């Protein structure tokens, strides 16, 4: 536990602006031109290089969580989501947004999160006006990595 506390403290001193979609980027299904990968001990982290992109992404993630509550069977957002549900919100939400805005693109990866959010704002006016009913369907349908079966 002490080592984990030290790691977290060092992580926050090294990464002052953590990528909001870090979990999605670490799955290698999403990437962003405003992000930088770094390594600390044996772990990988993602930093955001743009304050405006970070603000947009933070608000988008809040809206994705809020709109996906029913699909994820969550009553409140008072605490952090469990890891698997957060992966569904981040990956499913970004892939869903891309399907809405750029249906001609490959729907298994997002190339640039920051550009996608900017395209969404220029298309819909504000983040709050995004078509969350369509996006939440992608969150509900998103399947993460399957655990390997244990051999008995």
Single pTM value for the model: 0.86
> DSSP label at 48?
E
Beta carbons of 68 and 139 less than 8 angstroms apart: yes
Give the model's pLDDT for residue 9. Answer: 65
| pLDDT level of residue 32 (50, 70, 90 thresholds) | very high
Joined together, the tokens standing for residue 76 give 């409140």
Between 31 and 149, whose confidence is greater? Answer: 31
Three-point CA angle 142, 138, 66, nearest 5°: 100
Cα–Cα nearest to 139, from 79, 80, 98: 98
Task: State how far the Cα of 122 lies from the Cα of 53, in Å rounded to an integer.
Answer: 14
Question: Residue holding tokens 């304050």?
Answer: 51
The residue with greater pLDDT, 69 or 9, is 69
């Amino acid at each position: 536990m002490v080592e984990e506390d030290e790691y977290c403290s060092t992580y926050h001193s090294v990464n002052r602006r953590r990528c909001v979609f870090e979990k999605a980027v670490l799955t290698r299904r999403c990437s962003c031109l405003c992000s930088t990968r770094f390594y600390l001990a044996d772990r990988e982290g993602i930093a955001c290089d743009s304050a405006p992109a970070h603000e947009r992404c933070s608000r988008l993630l809040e809206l994705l969580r809020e709109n996906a509550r029913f699909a994820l069977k969550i009553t409140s957002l008072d605490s952090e989501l469990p890891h698997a549900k957060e992966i569904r919100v981040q990956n499913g939400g970004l892939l869903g947004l891309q399907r809405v805005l750029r249906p001609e693109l490959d729907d298994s990866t997002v190339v640039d999160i920051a550009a996608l959010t900017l395209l969404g704002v220029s298309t819909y006016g504000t983040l709050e006006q995004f078509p969350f009913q369509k996006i939440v369907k992608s969150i509900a349908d998103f399947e993460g990595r399957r655990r390997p079966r244990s051999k008995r």
